[in-house]
Structure 1
Amino acid sequence: MREKTEAMLPAVAQVLDAPERLGVLQAAVPDMSVPDEDFDGLARLAASLFDAPIALVSLVDREWQWFKACIGTTETRSHVRESFCVHTIAAGDGGPFLVLDASRHPAFRHRRAVGSPPFVRFYAGAPIVLDGQAIGTVAVLDVEPRSEVSAKRQSELQRIAGVAASLFKLKDEARRRALKEAALSREEQRLAMALDAANVGSWLWDIRAGTVSGNGAMMRMFGLPPERTVGAKAIFSAIHPEDRIPTFSKLRQAMAANEEYDGMFRIGTNGRWLLGRGRVHDRDSKGAPLSFLGMTIDVSDQQASVNRTRLLLKELNHRVKNTLAMLQSLARQTLRQTSDPAEFMTAFAGRLQAISEAHGLLSDYEWGTIHLSELISKQLLPYVSDYSQQVELHKDEILLGPDQAVGLGLVLHELATNAVKYGALSVPTGKIVLTARRVVEDGESVLHLTWTEVGGPPIREPRRRGFGSILIERSLDKIIGSSVKVEYLPAGVTALIRLPL
């Protein structure tokens, strides 16, 4: 191939500015301005092939030619107006471009590098082609003109340019792979941090190696050192002895049926409940499982809540049965005292309300314990117009259980009902004084509660004991050691209640 005349040179700007070419260049080599010593060997090989003092491996954008590697010059770039290589790219035929004597060539003799140092005379360049686009060149320059260049040398130069293109391609693929790996690594780190922050254990069981790799949360749950990989035996040994065999059986069943494992178990050292889920990650050519991937979360709080709910339901069932029995007894006893339906409904409804108020308080506290002061106010509020003026309470801080609260609630209801009919609450100036003290008797806590009516009309002891009086004395019979003693003093009724706590 001989050099092209000026008339044969293509329109350079149109080719350099082509969006397709620039897109390939910028995508493949975003750091085109940075020299890369990996291309130095190709530049030396080209210089040796032509016995030339200057060789370049360069990339060309729309304004600059960037030297990725160079021999015989300290420059790192050249403007496209002074570049020989832009014509190699613009030629578009994929072959070498030659200038045998630049001083005599009308298109190049006025170039700065021709008329001043280094006084370039000879140029040979081959395009670097990626994805069908010429993005750069491998070129040699000499200060001596040449009369011709053999086809073999031109072919070798073109081959070096092909190697440069392959190297750029490999570097681009490596860069993209590194970016993906870095993004994946960041994502894995974020996931690991999220799992650890949420206290979710992740693990991979290498079945053949007999090891389990897990994150920090996983190791903490099993009470193991923070090493990322431990023996599978250590994991299974950490499970509570009663749950170990069922857990292992579930895992084997999931592996055999290619199903998801889902099971709960306790940790032997602290009794905490864990929920594990996972499935076979990969199998060998015969279908035998190689690894098992899963996650574990601590569900101790949820399990405790479930257990509390079960206990509450059991307690509620017991209370409902007792309450129904009590209501039947109250109905029968109330009916015996009167044949008037209206009077029966009034008396029975009041007692039913007393039980309901006690049950409501107990339900608010999940059938645990309630404060005595709350029970007193619930039972007495319906019978007074001004609680603070008509009820005077002196008390220690007392907590009552379910049986104590229901029984004492009935006692307070009957005392209040009698006070409204015949005692202190039947007149505006009357009041109830309650004194509640916790005392220790034979090492056991006992409530001493005194009910005293003051400011009411004179009181006489009734000739006949009605059901209300019997109910006052017997409502606490279920609690061993309890007692209620009522005294009908002229100044007002006094009730002495003893209730073991």
Structure 2
Amino acid sequence: MHEKTEAMLPAVTEVLDAPERLGALYAAVPDMAIPDGDFEGLARLAASLFDAPIALVSLVDREWQWVKAAVGTTEARFRSEESFCIHTITEADDHAFVVLDASRHPAFRSWRKVAGAPFLRFYAGVAIVLDGQAVGTVSVLDVAPRLEVTAKQQDELKKIAGIAAAMLKLKEEARRRALKEAALSREEQRLAMALDAANVGSWLWDIRSGTVAGNGAMMRMFGLPSERTIAAKAVFSAIHPEDRIPTFSKLRQAMAANEEYDGMFRIGANGRWLLGRGRVHDRDSKGAPLTFLGMTVDVSEQQAAVQRTRLLLKELNHRVKNTLAMLQSLARQTLRQTSDPAAFMTAFAGRLQAISEAHGLLSDYEWGTIRLAELISKQLLPYVSDYGEQVELHKDEISLGPDQAVGLGLVLHELATNAVKYGALSVPKGKVVLTARRVVEDGESVLHLTWTEVGGPAVREPRRRGFGSILIERSLDKVIGSSVKVEYLPAGVTALIRLPL
């Protein structure tokens, strides 16, 4: 038991302001102004131990003594400069700081609460120590002086202060744990939101309970109710019957080999393709899998693109074979019409270019359909100096398939070649008028295309039919029901083309 004299008071400020002490205090209790009912039992125990009317569990910073729990007072804080507890903080050893009669103590007798109401006389306090730093006190006060404090009373008060320190430490750890859990929860929420926004399904298969917990994206992909947990049987039943057994077998194989599962399957209800990946998350003491963690991504568009590519390659293979056969025939027929190599190359190259232009357009549209106007423009542009002036086009919006486009492209090429050599496109003022109309015949759509040359030299019907004329008539043979009729009228060549659409 010690009674401190005024000589030690200058050390108080140095101890109170120590960064290490304040750091330990603020780390343990960020907000000291809030009372804590968990400490009320300790305050009552201290008051009972000393049969004192006032008992405090307090924390002390630079300026204030903050009351966390109290008996005999409702005050929440005291100024540090008139606090007995700052001397207890300074003491901070294994002894209690005791003042038997403050009215007779040179350092305390002039204090406001000693010289005036409530006329405090007795004080005994022990420091609450955290990480080697005195951050607060457990103390008792009385308005009557005491003659002595027993060693047992001091020991018991130290035990109470030790319990207060342990409680503060536990509360600090609990608070830190709660902050970490809250941060983890926020991170999990952000991750869940990101996965859902990216339409990535995440799921956890509890093998023992036979349930699957999945996010919203996963449930939507499988066409299942929005519940977060569902029977695993329902999940596997959602897989397309043809893919169900292979998928389940692959999962079992991955679990047995402790490898990553990687597989693709369809959903039975909508036929969409899903890519699944995952692996065993944890096992029991015998190595049996307990949970399986995985993710799924909708790859229907990619699968559709793959399928389109396969179909395109198949169509391209078919077209190449047809084109090669056509080129062979063109080469033979062109060669029969001329023995001049230069003339052969000119004629054959032009026909090859016509086929190439049609193929190029079809390739741009993935061998689907192309617009008639684009085909006409591609075939006639090389043969006119001013397309707008020399080609007059009146048309409906019409799309052509591959056979139609290649055949009609050759017809247009041959007509344009003849027009440049002998017809309207052989003179500056001549032009070609094309009229394309969609008509319905016997319930089916048919293209009626008229080629009319105007402004050119007078036309005479040729005495001998050349390969060009034959090619005009035969180019559309692949399209059943098609026909081409060429009329050599004096005013200009006219071609009437009928082409089922």
Tell me the TM-score range normalised by the shorter chain: over 0.9
2:125 maps to 1:125 = yes
Structure 1 position 6, deviation (Å):
3.3
- Partners of 1:65 and 1:324 in 2: how far apart? 99
Residues 453-464 of structure 1 mapped to structure 2, 5 A cutoff: 453-464=453-464
Structure 1 position 492, deviation (Å):
1.3
- Partners of 2:9 and 2:496 in 1: how far apart? 123
Structure 1 position 151, deviation (Å):
0.4
Quote the residue 1:188 is aligned against. 188
Quote the residue 1:389 is aligned against. 389
Show CA shifts across 1:335-380 (max 9, x none). 2222222212211111111111111111111111011111111111
1:42 counterpart SS class: helix
Quote the residue 2:225 is aligned against. 225
Residues 57-456 of structure 1 mapped to structure 2, 5 A cutoff: 57-456=57-456
Task: Name the amino acid aligned to 1:401.
Answer: G
**RMSD of the TM alignment (CA)?**
1.2
Task: Name the amino acid aligned to 1:99.
Answer: V
Structure 1 position 121, deviation (Å):
0.8
Task: Name the amino acid aligned to 1:421.
Answer: K
8 A Cα contact 1:47 1:140, kept in partner: yes
1:46 counterpart SS class: helix
1:367 counterpart SS class: coil
Structure 1 position 2, deviation (Å):
3.8
Quote the residue 1:29 is aligned against. 29
Show CA shifts across 1:226-254 (max 9, x none). 11111111001111111101110110011
- Partners of 2:71 and 2:194 in 1: how far apart? 52
Task: Name the amino acid aligned to 1:11.
Answer: A
- Partners of 2:220 and 2:30 in 1: how far apart? 45
* Bigger Cα displacement from structure 2, 321-330 vs 256-265: 321-330
2:103 counterpart SS class: coil
* Bigger Cα displacement from structure 2, 364-373 vs 9-18: 9-18
8 A Cα contact 2:2 2:96, kept in partner: no
Quote the residue 1:14 is aligned against. 14
Structure 1 position 111, deviation (Å):
1.2
**Sequence identity (%):** 86
Task: Name the amino acid aligned to 2:282.
Answer: D
1:220 counterpart SS class: helix
Q: Normalising to structure 1: TM-score of the pair?
A: 0.98
- Unpaired runs of 5+ residues, structure 1, are none
- Partners of 2:390 and 2:7 in 1: how far apart? 120
Show CA shifts across 1:67-97 (max 9, x none). 1111111211111110100011111324211
- Partners of 1:429 and 1:195 in 2: how far apart? 67
- Partners of 2:352 and 2:295 in 1: how far apart? 53
Structure 1 position 260, deviation (Å):
0.8
- Partners of 2:80 and 2:388 in 1: how far apart? 100
Structure 1 position 10, deviation (Å):
6.5
Q: Normalising to structure 2: TM-score of the pair?
A: 0.98
1:204 counterpart SS class: strand
- Partners of 2:20 and 2:320 in 1: how far apart? 83
Structure 1 position 7, deviation (Å):
3.5
8 A Cα contact 1:419 1:425, kept in partner: yes
- Partners of 1:98 and 1:384 in 2: how far apart? 116
- Partners of 2:318 and 2:28 in 1: how far apart? 78
Task: Name the amino acid aligned to 1:478.
Answer: K
Task: Name the amino acid aligned to 1:466.
Answer: G
- Partners of 2:310 and 2:94 in 1: how far apart? 83
- Partners of 1:236 and 1:338 in 2: how far apart? 71
Structure 1 position 443, deviation (Å):
2.2
Task: Name the amino acid aligned to 1:300.
Answer: S
- Partners of 2:454 and 2:318 in 1: how far apart? 40
Structure 1 position 464, deviation (Å):
1.5
Show CA shifts across 1:439-477 (max 9, x none). 222222211111111221111111121111111111111
- Unpaired runs of 5+ residues, structure 2, are none
Show CA shifts across 1:269-301 (max 9, x none). 111111111110110111010110111111111
- Partners of 1:45 and 1:383 in 2: how far apart? 111
- Partners of 1:17 and 1:376 in 2: how far apart? 93
Task: Name the amino acid aligned to 1:110.
Answer: S
- Partners of 2:310 and 2:414 in 1: how far apart? 34
2:108 counterpart SS class: coil
- Partners of 1:5 and 1:228 in 2: how far apart? 70
- Partners of 1:4 and 1:454 in 2: how far apart? 127
* Bigger Cα displacement from structure 2, 421-430 vs 438-447: 438-447
8 A Cα contact 2:35 2:69, kept in partner: yes
